[in-house]
Amino acid sequence: MTVAVATILCVDDEKHNRDLLRAVLVPRGFEVFEAENGPQALEVARKHRPDLILLDVMMPGMDGYAVCRAIKEDPLTRDIPVVMVTSLTAKAERIKSIETGADDFLSKPFDQAEVLARVNMLLKVKDLNDRLKSAYANISQITSFGRIIARTYDPNNFSLLKAMDKVVELILGRAADPEKPSQVVAGLKLGGDSWRWYVYERSTEKVQRTSFKMMLDLYLALPEGKAARVVTFSGDELEGKEIGPVVAKLRERKIQVRNMLCFMSDDVCLLVLNYQRPITRYDADVINAIVTHTVFLKTLYLQMNEISDAFDYSLQALARASEANDEDTGNHIHRVGEYCALLAREIGLPEKFIRSIKVQALTHDVGKIHIPPPILLKPGKLTPEEYEVMKLHPQYGAMILGDNPRLTMAKNIALNHHERWDGSGYPRGISGEAIPMEARILSMADQYDALRNTRVYKPPYDHATTCAIITQGDGRTHPGHFDPRVFAAFKKIAGHFEETYEHLKDTFEKAYHALPPAE
């Protein structure tokens, strides 16, 4: 690894004095810039941002006091230590130098030992100040990041990869910064032994993420049995280092590794590559603090999935209970959920909507729990009074599902799935866009499946007959009952409905015949 060389700007209108300073500094490993007047000094300082400035006081035109004042007023250069070099020894001149922002003094003629001592002392002070500023900036970023996570976390709309993007952006920053690393390789264990890997690089405008494929051997190269700790690597000496195999695997894939901080836990790995300076213990602490957020987010993600799975299972159980006394002993609720997903995708609705309607459509008839079994199972036509009781099941369903935000779609479906686009439905007789989109989709899906199955008032129809009834009407069903967008989508993908019906019908029949006989 290349160690950064300290840079010093020497400002003096006499070349002889600049040559003397160069002769003292260059043999000691310092890089020297020169300026012969004030304006040139300010230009060089802004362009190169040296670690230290040796500034002559007595110069024609813009003197050292004016240059020092300009340096300290400029945000780009104000933290650079300035040593005033002067042959003046009066107390007033030194006070004036302090007032302009000078950090120290050197007297002419130069004493070599004194020059080196003051230079080394001020460079150490600057390094400590730079570390303090970096620490404060990182602590502020970490604190701000934690607040943002707490404020914006949405368990119903969370992306672990996007959360990792934010973590890596915090590590890399968005603009070129010598204090920041240049790359991050991130790995996340998403379940079982499956890892996903990504390479992040900082560009001029934003952090770019690229998928890193075929990285199983990198995972196998990681040291085993040591969770949640940081290991470091600097330079090219890999022999005997536990991180050596990882560095070798990265280099095989043309990823340059000059130095690295590596955070590894059982299911998260962050390889922070190529700081443009020596890695410090503080850098490791910062990475530890930042990646802790990633681990926390992954824990939330897994818990969210567990809750979501339990939620979906509960909805399915509730839906199965609602069919216990219905005449349909088939897989009606699951078929309807699949049909809804097909229609929603064809219409072009978001994936979140598609995932939700596939599950929440299952409870569309949950209100039938409150309908007396003799009405549900009556072999003949319902009387007008009995039909009015049957028409109460949408309100019952909405009442059962309640007002939980996660069940908003299910409640909309249960309450409105018998409404019709032309206003001829029930329970409220609403029409058109007043009917929630999820209920309009469910209406089509439910109608298709009802026509395919046996009912007390009709035999089961095949796919072709069902499509003809829906698209042409039969007295009970009319194309005007359906949202035109949903109607058009159904006509386009009706073949997928038939495939879904046959597949799930066969699946149910196999499971049904495998059950033990009732005693």
pLDDT in tens, 314-371: 777 777 776 666 555 447 888 999 999 999 999 999 988 998 999 889 889 888 888 8
Instruction: Report residue 454 as tokens.
Output: 């046996």
**What distances in angstroms separate CA 422 from CA 144, 375, 426, 431, 438, one per listed residue?**
52, 28, 11, 5, 17
What does DSSP assign to residue 90?
-
pLDDT band at 144 (very low <50, low <70, confident <90, very high): low
Cβ-count burial 425-453 (b if 16+ within 10 Å, e if not) = bbeeebeeeebbbbbbbbbbbbbbbbbbb
pLDDT of residue 515: 42
Domains of the chain: 7-130 (3.40.50.2300), 153-300 (3.30.450), 323-513 (1.10.3210.10)
pLDDT of residue 513: 42
Q: Is the pLDDT of residue 514 over 60?
A: no
Three-state DSSP state, 68? helix
pTM of the model: 0.52
Q: What percent of the chain has pLDDT over 90?
A: 29
What is the CA angle 44-50-52, rounded to 5? 115
What does DSSP assign to residue 265?
-
Alpha carbon 297 to chain centroid distance?
10
pLDDT band at 423 (very low <50, low <70, confident <90, very high): very high
